[in-house]
Amino acid sequence: MNERTFHPRDAHRLEDPERLKWLPPEEVLARIGPVSGMTIADVGTGTGYFALPFATAVGSRGRILAVDFQKEMLEMLREKLSGSGAPQNVVLVEGEARRTTLSGNSCDLVFMSNLWHELDDEAGVLLEVKRLLRPGGRLAILDWRADVVPPPGPPAAHRVSRENLRQVLSRHGWPVTHAGNAGKYSYLLIAGLPAI
């Protein structure tokens, strides 16, 4: 945890109905293209803003591994999952981005939303993602645009620009297959696995 880490006391912001207007999950999912049967690790899942739509998209044959190191966030998501009609294919996992505790070669997609700007060990996180992904797997990173003045989101000094992230991925051998804005304040980068 560092000064950039989102605190559970602010979880109400994640549930603000206005967020659905400026960051519609269906827009992000349309660009990523989850399909039935996929296993997706939602690393830094928070209260499940994306985990729940992903769960619907991958269907009963798929699984969402909702990873967060903050127990309070996982408890909020657990409460949502206990409700009537909640998806049954979401597995809560206590873990960190660079040590998820997930099995290797277990995921078709690793997704991180509003997490990259909080990370201290980018190289370690990318090694962990590489360990998790099956052949043909992808990494999708959604984060705050640096060219948009807050609020919402973290202070400008904490944001990582889309170009900076692209350079980090390139330096570590991750080929970027998609880079564009998402919603009003975010960008989305999708990358394939590095060549061996």
- List the chain pLDDT tens, one digit each, 196 residues: 677 777 777 777 788 889 999 999 999 999 999 999 999 999 999 999 999 999 999 999 999 999 999 999 999 999 999 999 999 999 999 999 999 999 999 999 999 999 999 999 999 999 999 999 999 999 999 999 999 988 999 999 999 999 999 999 999 999 999 999 999 999 999 999 998 6
pLDDT score recorded for residue 1:
62
Closest by alpha carbon to 141, among 47, 53, 28? 28
Q: In 3-state terms, what secondary structure has residue 2?
A: coil
pLDDT score recorded for residue 12:
76
Question: What amino acid occupies position 54?
Answer: F
Domain 24-143+152-192 classified CATH 3.90.79.10? no
Contact 117, 159 (CB under 8 A): yes
Contact 81, 55 (CB under 8 A): no
Which tokens is 87 given? 């998806």
Where b means 16+ CB within 10 Å and e means fewer, 78-92 reads eeebeeeeebebbeb
Question: What amino acid occupies position 47?
Answer: T
Domain boundaries, the chain: 24-143+152-192
Which tokens is 88 given? 């049954």
